[in-house]
Chain A
């Protein structure tokens, strides 16, 4: 009884926090929402305006510095593309690792491997970022990008400038490595919740283990896996520090291939806050908060869908 009350209170507090956060963001960003209109979603140019000019730009009754424009499309595209590409790298790997843990790994190795995965999840993102800057980015810039653009340049999105190594590709690799542990852990739990008899029955019917997995196990846990991918996707969308360090901090330009410098919403909020505080009108700061609001809504949606999917999976047994 008491436990029931306590948990409902705790749940209520969590919900209240989310609502309060939304209300605060809406209240704080309201002038920016009015100033920017739809351009926060579909305009490429981010310009805090001329701090040394005269006069001001006025939209919908809100005044900002002359020439100020707060287009978030570059950051929105960078956020989605880097997270999606990270999924392309991470999903097959994570599925393989999770299946191996559940069906192939001897019992005595499971504990250390699981511990290792938890450990990976616990490494601070700045460490991944540092590795990305020092090892990954020069490797991509000097080897991978020139090779790929030269030999596979005829494929759309692979041709053109090889760039410096900082960019979408490096960001996606770092993100993929970072979300791997959470994806492996979720898929593993989904698989473990599945009766082992499905796999065994399929094997008994003469399937190879590959056939048992692809024809019997995976179809039965499809929703759960989609949920696991979405949880990881949600994490990738909001990752900040590591992306900031390897993405190239692109501004005012959309990526034209997978090696182009990009920027994500989370990274731009950090990197542009410093500039935004020098905007006397304050609209730049509020526009950054508006970007954060956009990210918040996207993450909330992705996570909700993911939870529903995973719960749906659990219910089906």
Chain B
């Protein structure tokens, strides 16, 4: 129903704007709620100078982004996750990184939200598997000696995404890469089979995660960094995560940057790679490329031209990669080498 309403509204708006600028070529972007805030900044700025294209943005979730790009409904499917091999075999789509994002682990522990708890992959896996049930569990205490006495004996309420989500993808990768029991169990994906935890709650989209975490004392959630302003406003705490080198790091430009730098040389030509749990003493463990999923065959020349022009602008260091766009949502720009790979992929659109 919600999706139908969104589509109907989009159609109404599209019609309205169509009447306003008759010659404009319509481009539909839909998908990741994590990329959505940045996409809106990009589109507003781009549209101010380019009146021949009408770009509509939607926050629907990475799963919808990918499937609507495949179906040809959307020209750009925004996704925090690259497509898996089984999907690629059915539909050869381009997976084009546009920026680098990260994810924070937020919690709502009354009295402790101003404290940055130390959290590790195995502890998070324990929480989401129901093996660690209380905030004062010895395993959490062991990582947080200074606050051990203040951790309450309250049931942890793990919140996960119910929609197909790139955030679930990178979060479950962190758990898979750090915890054998997780990788042999639920594994990773944009939608995974969550372990049975009697208090676990599902939420829809990053906005839904923020709302649920805020409304539920003693809960924990994984939320994209582009929602830092919202999580701060909601008064949620965020954790320092244990990286491959064993250090606990906060998601900052410096830690996200060093994790990304460790993974650039490993990025293949089709750019489908996980950046999670990167090596390096200062590396933040949950980061990812934000992808535009694009069909290399576009039906008509007008759409193709408008699409290539917009994506090229997004990938230009004097365009969408300018720091003021990315700072606003706490993302990082692509380095020159990756932007070049992305531009090569854009060149394949025909």
A-to-B contact residues, CB < 8 Å = 44-48, 50-54, 56, 65, 67, 69, 126, 133, 137-138, 141-142, 160-166, 240-241, 248-253, 256, 260-261, 263, 270-278, 280-281
Contact = CB atoms under 8 A, between A and B. Distances in A.
A112 B88 CA distance: 61
B200 A250 contact: yes
A166 B163 contact: no
Nearest to A255: B198
A164 B203 contact: no
Given A48-B193, A162-B155, 5 more contacts: A51-B190, A250-B200, A253-B198, A275-B191, A280-B89
- For the complex of A and B, 6 pairs with smallest distance between CB atoms: A249-B202, A275-B191, A47-B193, A253-B196, A275-B164, A277-B67
Contacts of B328: none
Interface of B is mostly: loop
A51 B189 CA distance: 6
A50 B145 CA distance: 38
B64 interface: yes
A34 to B, nearest CB: 20
B195 A252 contact: yes
- Tell me if A's interface is mostly helix, strand, loop or mixed: loop
Contact of A252 (B61, B191, B193): B193
Given A137-B215, A163-B199, A249-B201, A278 B193 contact: no
Interface in B181-216: 187-204, 211-212, 215-216
Contacts of B155: 161-163
A251 B1 contact: no
B193 A261 contact: no
B67 A166 contact: no
Contacts of A56: 86
A278 B66 contact: yes
Contacts of A248: 200-202
B162 A133 contact: no
B16 interface: no
Contacts of A161: 155, 198-199
A265 to B, nearest CB: 15
Given A256-B198, A261-B199, A275-B163, A281 B67 contact: no
A276 B211 CA distance: 24
Contact of A160 (B3, B198, B202, B217): B198
Contact of A138 (B61, B157, B215): B215
A51 B87 contact: yes
B95 to A, nearest CB: 13
B85 A277 contact: no
B90 A280 contact: yes
Given A164-B157, A250-B202, A271-B204, A52 B84 contact: yes
B283 interface: no
B237 interface: no
16 contacts: A45-B193, A51-B191, A52-B189, A53-B84, A65-B86, A138-B215, A142-B217, A166-B212, A248-B200, A248-B201, A249-B203, A251-B162, A261-B200, A271-B162, A278-B63, A278-B67
Nearest to B168: A275
Nearest to A66: B86
Contacts of B163: 271, 274-275
A276 to B, nearest CB: 8
Nearest to A167: B201
A137 B193 CA distance: 25
Contacts of A65: 86
